[in-house]
């Protein structure tokens, strides 16, 4: 008679341990992201809105291909924030689009194959794509959009109709026998389950730029936003989601440069990432001094939430002030050991001109953003990063490690060989530990098209246990890759 007991259990074998995933670690009061080997990750990333559903009159997106991911990797990006739309995921109540899930999965797979980690972001602006005529809007499906007949007239980042729809969402109004937030959780669970085998993923983001309706912060957070976020966190965890869960402050931080929701710990979950959007000087007239203050405030906010910190979305135009402030952003991110994700990768011609590269992948001739964003940086370090910085010639890191040492991984910086002026004459390929030269591992990452040629290196350095300084300095290109 066949046994009804699983062979492994019958033999007394313990169940297989789940694979390790990136998670949040703490050292003193600081929370930070580590990879599967407990090495701290310093995220330098890019956003792509390729999977977002906008209204027909607004920007139509540029689809992603394997060439895009190869070019992202050759520009040194190590993570992709991938916004998705609830409207495409759940076109009808109780229905999940399998074709859209497959599209999300295919893009996550392609990004990972190119060496990028992925954060999947449930994106929304003004709640629904029809609620801000003439402007950027996206998010909820029409069946989940209850506007109470309010007009769609322009107002502060929203409109009367979008505020009414937001009120109904935050109040969890019942639609087709289920609260709107339960419908939303069903959509999150569908994505979580579809991507469950992607252990290297950075996780799921609950909602892009949560926007309040008629209840303003800080009451909004305590009465509506945080209870909703706890519901999503608890629902995902109960269903088996092990990866990090990301959340952001209310939309007003984009203008106020501080979280007016008055942060405090919103959940006991240990694997949360606070993901503000630092848009200082974009939606207000602020300059470098205010930008510094905004980064400092973000660090304090993350501490209050007891979460790791990543500036998940930042971007700007190509005027001289913007070009200069991008460098300030990168320096401040290094100073605070903070991850960041630039908005965005590509745009159709004629919109607000924040793209990193053109539609065909060529380097822009009116902006140095690709050159700036591809500068040298840390990818990961065993233990904890104590400090890091790039002075235009060298990258210096101090790291503290407990127990065994391990391999630190760096990006050498990208040399633009064809299609644009390079800001980096030589990649940083020579390594020094505590002032003594060591032999690093060096893997070339290239991208070549009819218009563009890019070259950079993933540099690995073996670091002993304890506290050490690692420095990268410029060196010659590999002879075969000149």
CATH number of domain containing 480: 2.60.40
Note whether residue 188 is domain-resident: yes
> Domain boundary at 317, 339, 374, which?
374
CATH number of domain containing 105: 3.20.20.80
Note whether residue 4 is domain-resident: no
Which of 380, 379, 385, 378 lies closest to 399, judged by CA? 385
Residue 155 pLDDT level (bands cut at 50, 70, 90): confident
Note whether residue 344 is domain-resident: yes
Task: Give pLDDT, residue 369.
Answer: 97
* pLDDT, average across residues 66-82: 98
Q: What is the DSSP string of 306-320?
A: T-EEEEEEE---SSH
SS3 call for 180: helix
Task: Give pLDDT, residue 2.
Answer: 31
Backbone φ and ψ of 339, nearest 5°: -70, 160
For residue 303, count other CB atoms closer than 10 A to its CB.
16
Higher per-residue confidence, 71 vs 135: 71
291's CB contacts (< 8 A; 6+ apart) are 278, 280, 281, 325, 328, 329, 332
Residue 16 has pLDDT above 80, yes or no: no
| 118 and 232, same domain (yes or no) | yes
Residue 315 has pLDDT above 60, yes or no: yes
| 195 and 54, same domain (yes or no) | yes
Q: What is the pLDDT of residues 179-238, one digit of tens each?
A: 999 999 999 999 999 999 999 999 999 999 999 999 999 999 999 999 999 999 999 999
* pLDDT, average across residues 292-296: 98
> Domain boundary at 347, 374, 401, which?
374
Q: What is the mean pLDDT of the chain?
A: 93
Q: What is the pLDDT of residues 84-120, one digit of tens each?
A: 999 999 999 999 999 999 999 999 999 999 999 999 9
Residue 44 has pLDDT above 60, yes or no: yes
- 64-68, 158-162, 228-232, 236-240: segment of lowest average pLDDT: 158-162
Task: Give pLDDT, residue 13.
Answer: 60
| 273 and 212, same domain (yes or no) | yes
Q: What is the pLDDT of residues 435-479, one digit of tens each?
A: 999 999 999 999 999 999 999 999 999 999 999 999 999 998 765
* Separation CA 436–CA 308 (nearest Å): 33
| 88 and 165, same domain (yes or no) | yes
The answer to whether residues 157 and 124 touch, using CB atoms and an 8 Å cutoff, is no
Note whether residue 5 is domain-resident: no
Domain count, the chain: 2
> Domain boundary at 374, 408, 438, which?
374
Q: What is the DSSP string of 96-118?
A: --HHHHHHHHHHHHHHHHTT-EE
Residue 4 has pLDDT above 50, yes or no: no
Residue 18 pLDDT level (bands cut at 50, 70, 90): confident
Residue 342 has pLDDT above 90, yes or no: yes
Q: Give the residue numbers spanning the domain of 363.
A: 28-374
| pTM passes above 0.85 | yes
| 142 and 168, same domain (yes or no) | yes
């Amino acid at each position: 008679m066949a046994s009804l007991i699983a062979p492994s259990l019958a033999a007394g074998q313990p169940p297989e341990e789940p694979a390790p995933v990136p998670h949040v670690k703490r050292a003193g009061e600081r929370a930070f992201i580590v990879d599967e080997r407990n090495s701290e990750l310093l995220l330098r990333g890019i956003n792509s809105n390729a999977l977002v559903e906008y209204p027909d009159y607004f920007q139509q997106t540029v689809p992603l291909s394997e060439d895009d991911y190869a070019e992202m990797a050759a520009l040194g990006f190590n993570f992709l924030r991938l916004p998705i739309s609830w409207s495409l995921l759940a076109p009808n109540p109780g229905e999940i689009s399998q074709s859209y899930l497959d599209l999300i999965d295919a893009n996550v797979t392609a990004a990972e194959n190119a060496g990028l980690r992925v954060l999947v972001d449930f994106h929304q602006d003004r709640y629904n794509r029809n609620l801000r005529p003439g402007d950027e809007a996206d998010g909820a499906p029409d069946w989940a959009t209850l506007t109470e007949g309010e007009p769609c007239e322009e107002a502060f980042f929203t409109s009367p109709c979008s505020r009414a729809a937001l009120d109904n969402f935050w109040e969890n109004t019942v639609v087709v026998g289920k609260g709107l937030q339960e419908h939303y959780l069903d959509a999150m669970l569908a994505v979580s389950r579809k991507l469950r085998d992607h252990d290297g993923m950075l996780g799921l983001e609950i909602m892009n730029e949560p926007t309040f309706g008629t209840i303003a912060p800080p009451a909004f957070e305590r009465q509506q936003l945080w209870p909703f976020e706890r519901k999503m966190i608890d629902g995902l965890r109960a269903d088996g989601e092990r990866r990090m869960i990301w959340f952001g402050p209310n939309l007003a931080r984009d203008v106020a440069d501080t979280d007016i929701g008055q942060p405090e710990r919103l959940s006991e979950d240990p694997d949360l990432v606070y993901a503000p959007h630092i848009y200082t000087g974009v939606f207000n007239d602020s300059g470098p001094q205010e930008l510094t203050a905004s980064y400092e405030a973000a660090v304090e906010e993350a501490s209050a939430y007891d979460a790791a910190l990543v500036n998940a979305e930042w971007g700007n135009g190509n005027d001289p002030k913007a070009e200069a402030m991008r460098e300030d952003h990168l320096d401040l991110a290094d100073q605070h050991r903070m991850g960041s994700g630039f908005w965005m990768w590509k745009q159709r011609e004629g919109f607000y001109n924040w793209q990193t590269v053109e539609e065909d992948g060529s380097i822009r001739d009116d902006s140095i953003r690709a050159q700036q964003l591809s500068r040298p940086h840390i990818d990961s370090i065993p233990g904890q990063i104590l400090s890091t910085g790039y002075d235009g010639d060298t990258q210096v890191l101090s790291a503290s490690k407990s127990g065994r040492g391990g391999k630190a991984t760096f990006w050498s910086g990208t040399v633009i060989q064809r299609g644009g002026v390079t800001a980096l004459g030589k990649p940083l390929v020579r390594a020094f530990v505590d002032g003594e030269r060591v032999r690093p591992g060096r893997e070339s990452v290239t991208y070549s098209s009819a218009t563009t040629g890019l070259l950079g290196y993933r540099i690995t350095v073996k670091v002993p246990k304890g506290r050490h300084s690692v420095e990268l300095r410029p060196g010659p290109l590999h002879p075969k890759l000149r």
